[in-house]
Chains A and B, each alone.
Chain A
Amino acid sequence: MLGGLGFGPAIDLSRCTLAFDPRLGPVCESQLGPIPGGGFVCPHHACSVFDYSPAVEPLLPRAEATPDATVF
């Protein structure tokens, strides 16, 4: 009906675009990876029954994805 929308456990865009639909943004805005426990700041990545990696590598442009790390 809407050309494909909703691909995750979130029901709005207020906290994590990635958890709502990775097509709209392939990176979790709340991801604080280098800080211990920083990956769990986002409620959808801490408390969800269904989640995607905080940075969806296949959807990142080639220049932004390296084999061992995601570079912003």
Chain B
Amino acid sequence: MRLFFEIARTGFAALCLHPLRSGVTICVVMSILVPYLAGVGLSHGIRDVAEDSLRFGADLTVTGIRFGRTVPIPLSAVDAIRQIEGVSEVVPRIVGALSLGKNREPAVLVGLPHGRLPKDVTWVQGQFSDSSGMHEFVVGTQLATRLSLKVGSIIPPFYRSAKGERLSKVVGILAPDAPLWQANLMLTSLETAAQVFDQPDQVTCLLVSCRAGYADQIKTAILRIASPDSSRGTIRYRVASRQELGSLLPSGWLHREGIFNLHFVLGFAVAILAMLVTSGAGLSERRREIGILKATGWQTDEILLRGVVESLLLCLAAASGSVVVAFVWLKWLNGLWIASVFLNGVDAAPSFEIPFRLVPVPVLLAFLISAIVVLSGTLYPTWRAAIVPPRDAMR
């Protein structure tokens, strides 16, 4: 056992003997692992945001469909759904897309009834006033940054409406530490949202809260209701329950594709470089070193053990360094540049807090990947050099 540790110690000595080779190997492995860990960390962060959205969301979300496409629901549907047994609350909501500014910045306009608009919420700097002649908006962090909006800023008319256009006022900015979805949000009252989209008495969805145990029954009842829409025919309802959305999370989370597959392909391509560095570029000096060891009485298995220890220390250093770099990048640098790679539409320097969570499994996987890459680059050439006569190896 003592001999084993003595040989292992020489593995550490071999690491320090060639600092350039060790440094290059660690950097190459880190270049694969850091984007991987950052991506997985972001993925977990988004999942956390989605879980919060589910937890604090309504029991049922009702939308209208026609020709299989989502369409607005008449506001009169609120009363019909409110009469169903077990329904405790029905909140109409408008969620629509629009673009603002000369660069046509995309925004998500959300309209809620006056009583539901947040007041004295820590996420919002500023608040809605009780009476104002102008349209009032609370805007998301990224949108405010892109359009240089502050609390009190006046937005000239940006829409066309049958009721005419009015000035709008920014009465609040969402805090940067609010969830991801607030980045391009414009929050306003239901009446203002209806006027901006010029869709009076229509909403995009209904948020239904149910008494405990009634959700399935209410969903069935809503699906049976056919909402007549004056001369345009009938609107059918689509109902998404909290349980159904909850079942989406694991599948969505596991259904990562695209950039991640690309990353793995790139990772293995870079791993080939790592193998070249550790086996090709340092091969002659490694062969000479092994020849000397063999000439002084070392056995092949002892030389291999020395190589394994050297490689494991290299990959441990690379994996540990990758975790630290990924954490610093996502936490203190707020995902500078890397967040825009993984999240479409996010600025290179995000103006809001990027959600992320580093969990043990990807870190262990990172260690495993680095071990495979480094060991495959070290062990085979070491074994090739160790089985030839010392005289040939030293030549």
Cross-chain contact A23 with B108 (CB below 8 angstroms): no
Interface string of B155-180 (1 = CB under 8 A from A): 00000000000000000000000011
Task: Jot down 14 A-B pairs with beta carbons below 8 A, ordered by A.
Answer: A3-B57, A3-B58, A4-B57, A5-B53, A5-B110, A11-B343, A14-B106, A17-B70, A26-B238, A49-B39, A52-B248, A58-B244, A59-B245, A61-B236
Cross-chain contact B342 with A4 (CB below 8 angstroms): no
Contacts A5-B53, A61-B65 known; A11 to B240 CB distance under 8 Å?
no
Count chain A residues whose beta carbon lies closer than 8 angstroms to a beta carbon of B.
Answer: 42
Contacts A50-B43, A50-B46 known; A6 to B118 CB distance under 8 Å?
no
Which residues in window 245-303 of B have CB below 8 A to A? 245, 247-248, 251-253, 255-260
Cross-chain contact A11 with B63 (CB below 8 angstroms): no
Of chain B, the residue at the smallest CB distance from A2 is: B110
Please name the 4 residue pairs, one residue from A and one from B, whose CB atoms are nearest each other, closest first.
Answer: A4-B57, A6-B181, A13-B97, A14-B106
Complexed CA–CA distance, A23 and B107 (Å): 18
B207 interfacial by beta-carbon distance below 8 Å = yes
Contacts A2-B187, A11-B184 known; A48 to B343 CB distance under 8 Å?
yes
Of chain A, the residue at the smallest CB distance from B242 is: A4
Cross-chain contact A11 with B50 (CB below 8 angstroms): no
A47 interfacial by beta-carbon distance below 8 Å = yes
Chain A residues in contact with chain B, CB under 8 A? Answer: 1-15, 17, 20-26, 40, 43-53, 56, 58-61, 64, 72
Query: Which residues of A sit under 8 angstroms from B129, Cβ to Cβ?
Result: none
Query: Which residues of B sit under 8 angstroms from A56, Cβ to Cβ?
Result: 248
Of chain A, the residue at the smallest CB distance from B204 is: A24
Complexed CA–CA distance, A48 and B260 (Å): 8
Given contacts A6-B179, A49-B42, A59-B240, 7 further A-B contacts (CB under 8 A): A4-B58, A6-B182, A7-B53, A8-B46, A9-B343, A11-B180, A50-B252
Of B54, B247, B342, which contacts A47 at CB under 8 A?
B342
What is the number of contacts between chain A and chain B, taking CB atoms within 8 Å? 163
Cross-chain contact B256 with A49 (CB below 8 angstroms): yes
Q: Binding site of A, secondary structure by majority: helix, strand, loop or mixed?
A: loop
Cross-chain contact A12 with B238 (CB below 8 angstroms): no
Of chain A, the residue at the smallest CB distance from B96 is: A13
Cross-chain contact B238 with A59 (CB below 8 angstroms): yes
Cross-chain contact B253 with A48 (CB below 8 angstroms): no
Interface string of B137-153 (1 = CB under 8 A from A): 00000100000000000
Query: Which residues of A sit under 8 angstroms from B82, Cβ to Cβ?
Result: none
Complexed CA–CA distance, A24 and B181 (Å): 14
Query: Which residues of B sit under 8 angstroms from A26, Cβ to Cβ?
Result: 238, 240
Q: In the complex, how many angstroms separate the beta carbon of B117 from the nearest chain A beta carbon?
A: 9
Of A6, A20, A23, A49, which contacts B205 at CB under 8 A?
A23
Q: In the complex, how many angstroms separate the beta carbon of B107 from the nearest chain A beta carbon?
A: 7
